[in-house]
Amino acid sequence: MTYESIDGSIVPGELPGELSDPALRSASPLPEPGAVTVVVPTFNESANIRELLRQITASVPARLPCEVVFVDDSTDDTPEVIREAARDCPYPVTVLHREQPVGGLGGAVVEGIRAATSDWIVVMDGDLQHPPSLVPELVAAGERAPAGLVVASRYIKGGSREGLAGGYRVAVSRGATWLTKTLFPHRLRGISDPMSGFFAIRRSAVTADVLKPLGYKILLEMAVRARPRQVTEVPFVFQDRFAGESKSTAREGIRFLRHLAGLRTASPVARMVVFGLIGATGFLPNLLGLWALTAAGMHYLPAEIVANQFGVAWNFLLIEHLCFRDRRRHRHWWDRAGRFALLANADLVLRIPLIALLVGRFGLGALTATALALVTTFVLRFAGTEALVYLPRKGGRTGGAADGKSRRARSRTARRPS
């Protein structure tokens, strides 16, 4: 991989923080304790770049070693604007432009973490709703605590959400905060604002490869999957956007809900519970299908077999999106659907002989035998679904960090002062 300097020369090597040549590593100055990398994910924020860099320059003391890494998914001229604005910035400024925005804003932040070279990484938006003047305080608070994660919070004394435009966005923010804290009471203990996109984290406290971002709530992802032991908070006032329009949409809201579901079902026990709840909802399309088919004149026995497929299809769609979304890439959809349908119908075939065995051989009552058979076949169906449908094939493609790196289109160093 190469990166391009501001004078147009091509420098061989990897991204900052991933230098592979020992000579290049030894020539690069090591960050001093307390050094900070400011990671800014951007999407069509060209009108905000110059003011953002000006405020970072004015806010971060010269004695604090600093670099700025933009991870850009823009379709406008934002990368070019960054390169031009970087000429007036005393700190190294890097822009990593991604042709494919894998993982959304959260995926961009993970790319920035991989590229960071400093002890501390501060993540902030590019629209100036997160005040750059708070960057030194976030790092200082982490050093004082000492903490691995410092969250800029709107919901502690001294903080405010006044930059949120309109009652609707305030209500959505409050509702999302309540929902996440309800779903993850232990992991989010001590974090009053899990929806904040403004925080500092020690580079040693996070492993980028364990993160599976989906959408824009990367702090929630970090707190749930890789929470540092010590967390502290700093109040901040959420500012008005400097220029441009908000990127918050209904589509992002849906991605957020899918992200929550993925995080909540990360453990096997949680996945089994959700799997069971989804299975219970499958009775509705099954019964509706049976009613429609028998009403059309079909005999109830073949109608039951056909109607069962409606429930199987319903369960498959929900399980795909709520239980095993992050594992779908291991097999083609038709392969997953076929395997799932085979297991679901095998469950139906297995249950009746099992009930007969429990009643005839072990003398159980019909209701007890049926309940025990349901539990047994449910556990077998869950284990079979996880093992035969969604686990990676041996020696197959597993995706992950390597794929993410291969999708990174190019990187350009906008300015790297000597």
Close Cβ partners of 78 (under 8 Å, ≥ 6 residues apart) = 42, 43, 44, 45, 46, 49, 70, 72
345 neighbors 312 (Cβ within 8 angstroms): yes
- Per-residue pLDDT reduced to its tens digit, 310-323: 888 998 998 887 77
31 neighbors 43 (Cβ within 8 angstroms): no
Residue 393 pLDDT: 67
- Per-residue pLDDT reduced to its tens digit, 355-364: 888 888 888 8
Q: Given pLDDT bands bounded at 50, 70 and 90, which one contains residue 8?
A: very low
| pLDDT (mean) for 98-112 | 85
Residue 408 pLDDT: 44
Q: Given pLDDT bands bounded at 50, 70 and 90, which one contains residue 69?
A: very high
Distance of alpha carbon 345 from alpha carbon 200, whole angstroms: 50
3-state SS class at 412:
strand
CATH of 31-264 among 3.20.20.450, 3.40.50.970, 3.90.550.10, 2.60.40.1120 = 3.90.550.10
Distance of alpha carbon 266 from alpha carbon 354, whole angstroms: 32
- Per-residue pLDDT reduced to its tens digit, 251-291: 666 777 777 777 776 767 777 877 888 888 887 887 888 88
- The DSSP letter of residue 388 is I
Amino acid identity, residue 215? G
3-state SS class at 66:
strand
What does 168-217 look like in DSSP terms, one character per residue? HHHHHHHHHHHHHHHH-TTTTTT-S-TT---EEEEGGG--GGG----SS-
- The DSSP letter of residue 383 is H
Comparing CA positions, the residue from 29, 1, 36 lying closest to residue 15 is: 1
Q: Given pLDDT bands bounded at 50, 70 and 90, which one contains residue 164?
A: low
| pLDDT (mean) for 151-171 | 78
pTM: predicted TM-score of the whole model, two decimal places: 0.64
| pLDDT (mean) for 386-393 | 82
Is 348 a residue whose pLDDT tops 80?
A: no
Is 43 a residue whose pLDDT tops 50?
A: yes
Residue ranges covered by each domain of the chain: 31-264, 268-390
| pLDDT (mean) for 233-254 | 74
User: What's the token pair of residue 57?
Assistant: 């320059």
Is 352 a residue whose pLDDT tops 90?
A: no
Is 3 a residue whose pLDDT tops 50?
A: no
Task: Please give the residue that has the higher pLDDT: either 73 or 243.
Answer: 73
Residue 94 pLDDT: 92
31 neighbors 65 (Cβ within 8 angstroms): yes
What number of other Cβ atoms are within 10 A of residue 132's Cβ? Answer: 22
- Per-residue pLDDT reduced to its tens digit, 116-125: 989 899 999 9
Q: What is the mean pLDDT of the chain?
A: 78
Amino acid identity, residue 179? L
Q: Given pLDDT bands bounded at 50, 70 and 90, which one contains residue 10?
A: very low
Q: Given pLDDT bands bounded at 50, 70 and 90, which one contains residue 306?
A: confident
Residue 376 sits at the vertex; the CA angle it makes with 371 and 378, to the nearest 5 degrees, is 95
Distance of alpha carbon 192 from alpha carbon 219, whole angstroms: 12
Comparing CA positions, the residue from 205, 37, 12 lying closest to residue 112 is: 37
What number of other Cβ atoms are within 10 A of residue 297's Cβ? Answer: 7
The b/e string for 270-282 (b: 16+ C-beta within 10 A; e otherwise) is ebbebbeebbeeb
Distance of alpha carbon 225 from alpha carbon 184, whole angstroms: 11
Is 12 a residue whose pLDDT tops 50?
A: no
Residue 350 pLDDT: 82
**Bridge partners, 39 (sequence order):** 69, 123
- Per-residue pLDDT reduced to its tens digit, 397-413: 444 443 444 344 444 44
